[in-house]
Structure 1
């Protein structure tokens, strides 16, 4: 259930973008009618409307996530606050300047921000954030926790670079293809990495128990 909750903004972003692509005139009409004052020059082209509309929905969905957690008196993870800040800033720039390059940078900034936080705590503060988050759920040798932290740092840094490669080189000028990569490619890579980490950790947990 939490997995679907975390993916809520991405699912809505993808659904609205695909609808906008298939109904470009309708999407353009919505953007012109409701978002015109928020856009530099007073409006955007029909081709730009799907990504602008999807970005607005992505921002709203992320803020709704935070609102729901606050109303439910549940903890809002730091990662969600960072994600909200990035999508508001980069998404806002995408809307105002009607330039999808800003929203294409959003995943990279988010991945690198998380990697930088992990790196800062690991090297400067001498604290393993991954152990702090997962330590109560599993017992692992200290060297393994270091491996986990550095693996996440390297993975997030690499995934950020991959997003830039796909957005501005492989799929340059093809926003639709980049959206597909963002929703399916990056999410799939993330899932495979988590599975690989899980297999690695299960091996060490078995050794620890033995």
Structure 2
């Protein structure tokens, strides 16, 4: 349930996008992130740092998306967040007595310090990889959008109105860009969520094996 709660703004972004388009979805995601943080404070008198960081970056990049009517900012946002998280995990290997993952989970899970460092490094690299994957998917849209702008001279294009705005080859280019935008939205929810779920499951198996080793070690002495 906590996993789904963490993705609450992303899920609402996806639903709003399918109904009303990317700008309305951006506004909904910002509002959902405020609700997420507010609910955490009212219920637990505590807000997770991850939710606060996500809210701050979403307000900045989502706000720029809405004010400038430029979807580029909201498409960059997942990469910035993941790179930031990845950097924090990797930096914690050198700052403080314990890596961040051990600080978060060490109170309830007993595994050797070396295992925590390996897992912490893996989490950091995973977040960085997610950031690059997001840009890889979004870049196809960026290329298609720039090609259409160069072809038509129109800098602000409503991709929900392709059939109204364009004809012939320009219509095909617009529909292709719209399809690539939809692919990015699908990846943002299903791709990132799916990869994260698989990663968490693999981590759980890895931790379980070393937890057993830690429990059996005293008996072997």
Q: TM-score range by the shorter chain?
A: 0.7 to 0.9
**Counterparts of 1:77 and 1:190 in 2: how far apart (Å)?**
18
Secondary structure of 2:119 counterpart: helix
Aligned to 1:209: 215
Equivalent residue, structure 2, for 1:63: 34
Provide the C-alpha distance between the structure 2 equivalents of 1:147 and 1:155, rounded to a whole number of angstroms: 12
Contact 2:141–2:181 (Cα < 8 Å) also in 1 = no
CA apart distance, 1:75: 1.4
**SS in structure 1 at match of 2:94:** helix
Q: Which residue of structure 1 aligns with residue 205 of structure 2?
A: 199
CA distance in 2, matches of 1:60, 1:128: 33
Task: Give the Cα separation in 2 of the matches to 1:193 and 1:171.
Answer: 28
- Check whether the contact 2:92–2:98 (CA below 8 A) recurs between aligned residues: yes
Pairwise CA distance, 1:148 = 0.7
2:25 is the counterpart of 1:54:
yes
TM-score (norm 2): 0.78
Deviation of the 1:118 alpha carbon: 1.4
**Is 1:76 aligned with 2:47?**
yes
In 2, Cα distance between the equivalents of 1:176 and 1:206? 44
Shift of 1:96: 0.8
Alpha-carbon distance in 2 for matches of 1:72, 1:208 = 36
Secondary structure in structure 1 of the residue aligned to 2:93: helix
Q: Tell me how far apart the structure 2 counterparts of residues 113 and 171 of structure 1 sit (CA, whole Å).
A: 23
Unaligned runs of 5+ in 2: 144-176, 217-221
With the length of structure 1 as denominator, give the TM-score of the two structures: 0.82
Q: Can you give the 5+ residue segments of structure 1 that lack an aligned partner in the other structure?
A: 21-49
Distance 2:12 2:202 in 1: 28
Q: Which has the larger radius of gyration?
A: 2
Which runs of at least 4 in structure 1 moved beyond 6 Å after TM superposition? none
Give a deviation string over 1:40-97, Cα, whole Å, max 9, x none. xxxxxxxxxx100000000000001111222224310111110000110010111111
- Give the equivalent residue in structure 2 for 1:15: 15
